[in-house]
């Protein structure tokens, strides 16, 4: 009897396994689970993560905005004194690589496999955005051997190699978009809603910006001139995310200052004094009246080491220093990656330096357009005419133009912490002094490399560090 039971059990088992084998894959496949990822689904994620990374108050605010002295703090002031949290610096590096560059690379590859060259071009643009930010923040970085899972110790390429690679990515992207096929799904595109013409203009605009960034290192005039007439034409072309009214999809400035109740963020004294000296209508947009007396009052960069903050004796208190204006505390404030106004200032500089045609007259036109478009973006466009008519505002000479263009671009980049710091590092305009009671003797010129690199990629890390004079925040980058 026992043997009969064993035989029957074996027969039933054989029947079950062989009988199921015919449809095994079909039975064990979830019909609601995708096996292939549509390329366009990677776009919005890459855009949002990059914008959030650059605008996060503990990143672009505590460091970029404070180091450019557009913003300041009346408490928790370490970063403003150039004492950074290494974990935050590590996170910027890893997030741009993993959440922007890697996603954009995968999007390009998937789109090319689908024959969608327009979307593949957008992937190239997003890679260029990420790589340029990385090399500007850190210096030499993995580029030619980056995003290769089989290579866990990529070489660090010189900054010049990275910039030339970025420029080539943008050149290729613009060419592909000019004659490409396929489409960009509107709902996945947080910047342009799938408009390929705007992406084409952005590729050329970003190329212009990259060329201007390295204009002190090599001849760029011919390349810049070739881009004139192919770039952004108004604020409608801005590369920006329109945030939503509720966290976690609100603007990072709102989320930190309002949602997280962090009112220690204030406006810098240099910004207030500059706007006041120019009778600039953007002052009440950028800053709120001080609670103590209704005046607009900024705080000098620094303090917080031997001088405690807040400090009643020095008037460095929450109530006595202006916070950010309501416009910049709006949860739906767009997060900008590239603006028409910044382009206009770069074109003004290019004309002023003779890189593009038009001379002083063209420089003034671009300069006026940059001011006007930024005032329009900030909701005070109606005041632009009177502002521009003031004595002393127009450019009168090349040297005069350098100061005035640089100052107005610094003003216009308010709220774009890392970008404002990067442009200041390039132009050194306006003249800024290091923070009071700072941990360094100068304003930082770069960030530390991630703390993991000496362990995981030591040989290439050591080589990169040797090329810039050490892994220091004061090491100079080649375009500065």
Tell the residue number behind the tokens 């009112």, with chain if given.
Answer: 263
Cα angle 328, 291, 376 (rounded to 5 degrees) comes to 30
Please state, in angstroms and rounded to a whole number, the distance separating the CA atoms of residues 477 and 449.
Answer: 13
Q: Where are the domains of the chain?
A: 85-240+448-480
Q: According to the model, what pLDDT value does residue 37 have?
A: 85
What CATH code would you report for 85-240+448-480?
A: 1.25.40.390
Which pTM was predicted?
0.92
Q: According to the model, what pLDDT value does residue 213 have?
A: 98
For 263-276, the pLDDT digits (tens) are 999 999 999 999 99
In this structure, the number of other CB atoms found within 10 A of the CB of residue 223 comes to 16
Which residues of the chain register pLDDT less than 50?
A: 1-22, 24-25, 27-34
Q: According to the model, what pLDDT value does residue 33 have?
A: 42
Q: According to the model, what pLDDT value does residue 130 have?
A: 98
Please state, in angstroms and rounded to a whole number, the distance separating the CA atoms of residues 318 and 309.
Answer: 10
Q: According to the model, what pLDDT value does residue 166 have?
A: 98
Please state, in angstroms and rounded to a whole number, the distance separating the CA atoms of residues 234 and 369.
Answer: 9
Please tell me what DSSP assigns to residue 299.
B
Which residues lie closer than 8 Å to 218 by C-beta, 6 or more apart? none
Helices (H), 413-457: 417-427, 453-456
Transcribe 56-111 into DSSP letters: -IIIIIIIIIHHTTSEEESSS-TGGGT---HHHHHHHHHHIIIIIIHHHHHHHHHH
Say whether the peptide bond before residue 98 is cis (omega within 30 degrees of 0). no
Q: According to the model, what pLDDT value does residue 471 have?
A: 97
Q: According to the model, what pLDDT value does residue 26 have?
A: 52
Q: According to the model, what pLDDT value does residue 180 have?
A: 85
CA 77 to the chain's CA centroid: 23
For 230-248, the pLDDT digits (tens) are 999 999 999 999 999 999 9
């Amino acid at each position: 009897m026992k043997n009969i039971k064993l035989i029957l059990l074996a027969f039933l088992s054989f029947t079950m396994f062989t009988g199921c084998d015919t449809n095994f894959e079909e039975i064990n496949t979830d019909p609601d689970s995708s096996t292939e990822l549509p390329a366009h689904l990677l776009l919005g994620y890459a855009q949002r993560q990059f914008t959030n990374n650059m605008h996060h108050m503990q990143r672009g605010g505590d460091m970029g905005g404070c180091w450019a002295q557009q913003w300041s703090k009346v408490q928790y002031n370490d970063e403003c004194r150039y004492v950074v949290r290494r974990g935050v610096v590590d996170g910027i590096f890893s997030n741009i690589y993993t959440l922007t560059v890697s996603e954009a690379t995968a999007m390009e590859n998937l789109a090319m496999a689908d024959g969608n060259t327009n979307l593949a071009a957008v992937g190239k643009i997003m890679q260029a955005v990420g790589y340029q930010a990385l090399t500007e923040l850190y210096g030499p970085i993995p580029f030619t051997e980056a995003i290769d899972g089989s290579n866990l110790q990529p070489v660090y390429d010189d900054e010049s190699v990275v910039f030339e690679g970025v420029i080539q990515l943008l050149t290729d992207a613009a060419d592909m978009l000019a004659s490409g096929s396929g489409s960009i799904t509107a709902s996945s595109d947080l910047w342009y809603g799938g408009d390929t013409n705007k992406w084409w203009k952005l590729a050329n605009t970003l190329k212009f910006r990259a060329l201007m960034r390295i204009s002190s290192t090599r001849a760029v005039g011919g390349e810049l001139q070739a881009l004139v007439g192919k770039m952004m034409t108004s604020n409608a072309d801005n590369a920006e995310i329109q945030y939503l009214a509720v966290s976690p999809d609100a603007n990072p400035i709102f989320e930190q200052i309002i949602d997280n109740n962090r009112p220690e963020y204030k406006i810098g004294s240099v910004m207030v004094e500059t706007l006041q000296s120019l009778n600039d209508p953007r002052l009440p947009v950028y800053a709120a009246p001080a609670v103590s007396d209704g005046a607009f009052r900024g705080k000098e960069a620094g303090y917080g080491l031997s001088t405690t903050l807040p400090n009643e004796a020095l008037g460095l208190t929450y109530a006595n220093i202006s916070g950010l204006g309501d416009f910049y505390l709006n949860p739906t404030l767009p997060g900008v990656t590239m603006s028409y106004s910044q382009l206009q200032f770069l074109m003004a500089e290019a004309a002023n330096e003779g890189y593009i045609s038009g001379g002083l007259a063209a420089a003034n036109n671009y300069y006026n357009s940059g001011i006007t478009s930024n005032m329009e973006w900030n909701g005070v466009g109606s005041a632009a005419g009177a502002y521009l008519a003031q004595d002393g505002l127009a450019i009168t000479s090349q040297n005069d133009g350098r100061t005035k263009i640089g100052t107005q671009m610094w003003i216009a980049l308010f709220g774009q912490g890392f970008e404002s710091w990067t442009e200041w590092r390039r132009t050194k305009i306006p003249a800024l002094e290091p923070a009071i009671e700072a941990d360094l003797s100068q304003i930082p010129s770069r960030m530390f490399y991630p703390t993991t690199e000496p362990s995981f990629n030591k040989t290439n890390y050591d080589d990169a560090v040797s090329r810039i004079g050490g892994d220091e925040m004061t090491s100079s980058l080649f375009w500065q």
